[in-house]
Amino acid sequence: MVDVSVILCTWNNCQRLGITLESFCQCRIPGDITWELIIVANNCTDRTRGIVEGMMNRLPLVYVEEPIQGVSRALNRGLRNASGVLVIFTDDDVDPDVGWIDTYWNAFLRQPRGFFWGGPVESEFEGAMPDPDLLSVAPYSVKGLDYGPVRRELKRGECFIANWACPRDSFVQVGEFDVNLGLNSKTGEVSTGEESDIMFRLVQAGNHAIYLPEARIRHFVPRSKCNYEHILARCLAGARSSARAYEYRLKWLDWGPFKLGLSLQILKRWLSFWGAKISGRGAPKEYVDLRIWMEIYKCLSKDRS
């Protein structure tokens, strides 16, 4: 049994993983706590194991393998191997602030039950920053996430990404990550939403989501994720996740008026897109926004056809 378990899932990204592990060596760990850094190798075929073994003498590493592809499966494997009373989740391409673990641990000591926490994610682009219009509709995994300089409870519809912490006992309430959600969960389809789904379940179970501005990480964004194709694919994946959230509301709402409302949203975006095109702009923001609402409509209509 340890105090803190940090869970980090990785898939064939050994070079960036090595940089991330070096950054963890700089984290300030309070002298009165014990911790472990669980590396979950998700069907890796590169040098991931060797990179981890090379850092064993510098960090309290636990190396586990999840042979079935899928980030949710890897996260669940990490949870099953975690022994900390507090679990912190992050990615294999980040650089946490020196006080990152300390910040989460102190928040947990203040409110050990009924709460979970998250912090800002600052994007560090490998190349030039994407076009501002396109960046404005990009997913948080590209543009980063920042809810401001003040601690506060999250509003409805807000969530954390790749940087959050939760008491391990809370997962007894809500279960594991949904293996049908997240990257590589389905063949031939980009999928997201595994984090927002489990946070929704945590809130439904009575927990409060608290934003900690000092729990900051920097997230490396490669050039391959800064292009229009990647951003559109991730936005459409997010739209499918949003459709699942709308499904929950439709348990109490009539489909007819709801369908009309969606159609009006699509018409509004269609007019905005063509207005931008006529004015001579490239309109990437307007086009992505239009496609998002069309994808939501398609998903919800398909279930009722």
Asked if residues 53 and 21 have their Cβ atoms less than 8 Å apart, the reply is: no
The beta-strand segments (E) located in 213-268 are 217-221
pLDDT above 70 covers what percent of the chain? Answer: 95
First to last CA, the chain: 51
Strands (E) in the chain, as ranges, are 2-10, 35-42, 61-66, 84-90, 94-96, 115-118, 121-125, 152-153, 163-167, 208-211, 217-221
The domain defined by 2-226 folds into Spore Coat Polysaccharide Biosynthesis Protein SpsA; Chain A (3.90.550)
- pTM recorded for the entire structure: 0.86
Give the list of residues 6+ apart from residue 186 with CB closer than 8 angstroms, or none.
180
Q: What is the band of 7 on the pLDDT scale with cuts at 50, 70, 90?
A: very high
Burial-class residue 265 by CB neighbours within 10 Å (0-12, 13-18, 19+).
Answer: middle
Residue 227: pLDDT over 90: no
Q: Inform me whether the pLDDT recorded for 37 exceeds 80.
A: yes
Q: Is the pLDDT of residue 115 over 80?
A: yes
pLDDT in tens, 55-76: 999 999 999 999 999 999 999 9
Mean pLDDT for the chain?
90
Give me the residue spans of the domains in the chain.
2-226, 250-302
Contact 97, 214 (CB under 8 A): yes
